[in-house]
Amino acid sequence: MGAWLRGWRPLLRLAWRDVRRARARSALVLALVALPVLAVTTALVLTATADVTGDEAPERRLGAADARIRVEGLARVGQTADPDRGSAFGEGLRDDLTLAGVGDVLGREVRGIEWESTELSVLVDGRGVRAAGEWIDLRDPLTTGLATLDEGRLPEAPGEVMVNRALADRGPGVGETLTLVDGSTLEVVGVGEDAESRAFPHLWSPQRPDGVPEAQGTTWLVEAGPVTWDEVRALNDRGAFVLSRAVLADPPSAAELHPEVSDGEADDALVAAVVLIVVMVLIEVVLLAGPAFAVTARRQARTLALMAAVGATPAQARRAVLAVAVVLGGLAAVGGVVLGIGLAAALLPFLARWSGSYPGPFDVPWALVLGVACCGLLAALLAAAAPAWLASRADVVAVLAGRRGDAAPSRRSPVLGLLLFAAGVALAVAGTRQDSYGENWVALAAVVCVLGMVLLVPVVLGLLARLGARLPLPLRYAVRDAVRHRTRTVPAVAAVAATVCGVVALGISTSSDAAQSRETYTPQLRHGEAVLVASEATPEQWERAEEVLRAELPEADVSVVTGVPAPTGEGDVHVAYRPPATSEDTWLLGGVGSTLGTTDVVAERIPAALRGLDAAGRARGDAALAQGRVVVFTDEPVEADRVVVTATSYDGRSGEEEVLADEVTLPAAYVVVAEDGGTPFAVLPPASAEELGLPVATTSLHVAGAELDRDRERAVSEAVAATLPWSHLYVERGYFADDFDELVAWVLGALGAVLMVGGTLTVTLLALSDARPDLATLSAVGASPRTRRAVAASYALVVGGTGAVLGALVGFVPGVAAAVTLTRDSYAGPQQVVGPFVEVPWLMIAVVVLLLPLLTAGVVALATRSQLPLVARVD
């Protein structure tokens, strides 16, 4: 081992000197390796810092208290060190734990204050704005750290309130009055900020205003000395979640946790995705840095031959090239990490200002960062591997005699390439047949295909050279030179191809995904109509909301939809319908919709808002309702004129069930609806609903005939929120592409273009610097400056064009496979499979394959110096 390491010393010394001599080339490799390391390190540090976990900044959640204890009436709970990761166990509910009870469990005296949090709506300019209400006395020292006071004073009495800047900027400031949606008012005495979030409107008051509904559960901040993990477990057994300062600082091991509560295992799919991304980035970096190492190895050829003459073995020659990778990779990894951490530190204040929440203490996840640095080093080593291998096989005598000593190309690697490519195709096909995780198979297939393609690039270039005999001189020269210098051309072409492959694959899969969304889009309402739904609203609130709608949308036709209210936290009523003489689990509808806020409409006519049934069906329904029959919707015709209805109510607080109607048979009419209609189960005449004992209320307001653009939609929503805080206005606009998806596609496309152009430029410039003697000879025999530009541009065209065509072809494999996997299970209706969708974005592919290489060639032609200093041919 010692001798082996000693063997590296002169090689590393040689590499270090070489790196310093060839500054431009070294800088190129350094940048290629260091930039991804820097970017990932910055992202890791920012994420780790933004993520306030464990014992980082406990005062933001605990204030100065020893623990935060919360009871939600559950019988028994389990949790990790952080109660946000916890769950309830056992049956039943219990509401008996008090602050004194906490003291009993801990066996010592406990001082605590109650802290209630609810969301509420406040009125700003007559419109409803949601805000977080913290009902706690901030003057108590236990709350130190939860919030800061920036202006005015802390609220002392009920009716006094401190608001945060986000709310103060929109509404009342210190000395002014804040109005809640119920009309009650609070006096703003201070402006401050929450320790965790500042983007969302916040307000603090010692006591919850009367108009604001009571929060579920109770929270205390307690002063009780360090609360140990055993004590946390004891409190868990009494149904309390505990955030303990002592436990955060010294969290329990995984073995001490309840088996059903874990610290969150890594998501397999996520891990697979991350691994794939790392592999693809690694491949890209390796391919981009490869040409630089190929040139390095060529420049070193004579040194290597000399070393061989003085007794270096082929392995030592190989290591001499790898040593350059060790030096550059090491420098790039260390530099990337250091700069990445520095950049993160520099960006942190901007990020904090922009994100609306406060980052935690500066946090460098060293293990991950080290892994990233190792990946950087590995990328450099892999990039140098092929040039090193070829350099070690060079003909020493030929090199010493001043000739090129390239070894013959391997005959095995194209075969291996074909095998790998075939394996990739097989994997992709297999992926499309998987029931789950098929997309992981396809992603793996993409990697295998790209690896196979890399090995096939020399063959393609060879074919091109053979076809090149008839090309004009600049192109012919470029093709021949590209083939002659395989070691630098192949990785560059492969880098471009890999990039294009990725872009094409992603392009096909995203546009197919979009095609699926477009084709299978199910409108909830007729185009242009809107519906307002709300939960837990009183009849008066509904009336006022209706008035607001009519006032805001005078041209619209507003109608009230009544029915059995949708489930809420308080409970729900479930109604089941089946034709007589069928089993209990008979389903009449494949898809049920609650667009109108209910699945059981109660009305005397079929609501105009209902879609999915034709005029005849509507007429039949209206007639049946007029006769007092229940209109039951169904996918398939049903021959029956009665329906068996069962209704059950469930109390969310007590967990008790009550049967309202047990197998009651009523006269009915069955109306067939379109499969994707999203219709409710049934429309019941009011008399039938009463007979069944069903609760009936307004469930939504339907709006037709209004021009609702996005601005008007927001204005109407906020106006309604002033009376109906928990409401949602849905406007049917048909299918439209998700802005975010489009943005992602554009960013990926731009990144691909940058990589592609960058890769082409890199290798073209390297090639041109390498080919200076040849170009000088060309000039000497009378080539015009224009010829020189044309040769340079041709070089870019050969590399970019070959890579783009090859990559696009290969990209179809994972692209189509991913499209099939993602869109195979597309349903137009419950039984109607319409997938898979495969849509090829031809325009994008044309841009990538035709336009970008031409563009790059143009840039190269413009950037090439037409005057060349005369270079003597020196070996």
Partner 1 sequence: MTARQQHALLALTHVSRVHGTGATEVRALRDVSFEVAPGELVALMGPSGSGKSTLLHVAGGLDQPTGGSVAVDGTDLSSLGQAERARLRRTTIGYVFQDFNLIPALTAEENVALPGELHGLRSGEAREAARAALAELGVADLADRFPDDLSGGQQQRVAIARAVAGERRLILADEPTGALDTSTGEQILRLLRERCDAGAAGVLVTHEARHAAWADRVVFLRDGVVVDEADAGLTGLAGMTGAR
Contact positions vs partner 1 (CB under 8 A) = 3-4, 6-7, 9-10, 13-14, 17-18, 21, 302-303, 306-316, 396-397, 400-401
Task: Region of 66 please: left (phi>0), alpha (psi -120 to 50) or beta.
Answer: alpha
Q: Which is nearer to partner 1, 163 or 323 (CB)?
A: 323
Question: What is the spatial distance between Cα 335 and Cα 39, in angstroms, rounded to a whole number?
Answer: 12
Q: Residue 808 to residues 278, 506, 650: CA-CA distances in angstroms?
A: 22, 11, 58
CB of 406 to partner 1, least distance (A): 16
Token pair 């303990």: residue: 244
Residue 729 φ/ψ, nearest 5 degrees: -100, 120
Token pair 């329904």: residue: 621
CA-based torsion, 226, 227, 229, 230: positive or negative: positive
Instruction: At 667, list the tokens.
Output: 């006269």
CB of 5 to partner 1, least distance (A): 10
Instruction: At 320, list the tokens.
Output: 């001499």
Q: Which is nearer to partner 1, 392 or 432 (CB)?
A: 392
Q: Which is nearer to partner 1, 274 or 407 (CB)?
A: 407
CB atoms within 10 A of CB 858: 13
Q: Which is nearer to partner 1, 315 or 616 (CB)?
A: 315
Count of alpha carbons within 13 angstroms of residue 782, beta-carbon side:
0
CB of 393 to partner 1, least distance (A): 10
Q: Which is nearer to partner 1, 399 or 766 (CB)?
A: 399
CB 513 within 8 A of CB 822: yes
**DSSP state at residue 365:** -
CB of 334 to partner 1, least distance (A): 22
Cis ω before 836 (30° cut-off from 0): yes
Residue 404: in which H helix or E strand, if any?
none
Beta-ladder partners of 357: 197
Q: Which is nearer to partner 1, 12 or 416 (CB)?
A: 12
CB of 323 to partner 1, least distance (A): 12
Q: Which is nearer to partner 1, 311 or 554 (CB)?
A: 311
CA dihedral 437, 440, 444, 450 (to 10 degrees): 130
Q: Which is nearer to partner 1, 394 or 860 (CB)?
A: 394
Residue-wise burial string across 586-617, b where 16 or more C-beta atoms lie within 10 A, e elsewhere: eebbebebbbbbbbbbbbeebbebbbbbeeeb
Count of alpha carbons within 13 angstroms of residue 591, beta-carbon side:
17
Q: Which is nearer to partner 1, 97 or 394 (CB)?
A: 394
CB 118 within 8 A of CB 215: yes
CB of 20 to partner 1, least distance (A): 9
Beta-ladder partners of 731: 530
Beta-ladder partners of 560: 701
Q: Which is nearer to partner 1, 307 or 532 (CB)?
A: 307
Q: Which is nearer to partner 1, 21 or 865 (CB)?
A: 21
CB 803 within 8 A of CB 759: yes
Instruction: At 756, list the tokens.
Output: 């592609």
CB 534 within 8 A of CB 610: no
Token pair 């040769």: residue: 791
Residue 560: in which H helix or E strand, if any?
strand 557-563
Q: Which is nearer to partner 1, 5 or 870 (CB)?
A: 5
3-state class of 415 per DSSP? helix
CB of 774 to partner 1, least distance (A): 22
Burial degree of 796 (CB within 10 A; 0-12, 13-18, 19+) = buried
Q: Which is nearer to partner 1, 19 or 857 (CB)?
A: 19
CB of 329 to partner 1, least distance (A): 19
CB of 410 to partner 1, least distance (A): 18
3-state class of 90 per DSSP? strand
CB of 10 to partner 1, least distance (A): 4
Question: What is the spatial distance between Cα 269 and Cα 437, in angstroms, rounded to a whole number?
Answer: 8
Q: Which is nearer to partner 1, 98 or 313 (CB)?
A: 313
CB of 302 to partner 1, least distance (A): 8
Residues 6+ apart with CB under 8 A from 773: 871, 872, 873, 874
Instruction: At 577, list the tokens.
Output: 């319908």
CB of 875 to partner 1, least distance (A): 9
Residue 657 φ/ψ, nearest 5 degrees: -110, 145
CB of 326 to partner 1, least distance (A): 16
Q: Which is nearer to partner 1, 57 or 400 (CB)?
A: 400
Amino acid symbol at 129:
V
Q: Which is nearer to partner 1, 270 or 872 (CB)?
A: 872
Burial degree of 551 (CB within 10 A; 0-12, 13-18, 19+) = exposed
Amino acid symbol at 601:
V
What is the CA angle 402-406-412, rounded to 5? 170
Instruction: At 610, list the tokens.
Output: 């209902």
CB of 838 to partner 1, least distance (A): 53
CB of 392 to partner 1, least distance (A): 10
Q: Which is nearer to partner 1, 10 or 829 (CB)?
A: 10
CB of 315 to partner 1, least distance (A): 7
CB of 383 to partner 1, least distance (A): 21
> Could you tell me where the DSSP H helices lie in 401-485?
412-432, 438-467, 473-484
Amino acid symbol at 679:
T
Q: Which is nearer to partner 1, 4 or 354 (CB)?
A: 4
CB of 24 to partner 1, least distance (A): 16
Residue of 274, 217, 192 whose CA lies nearest to 88: 217
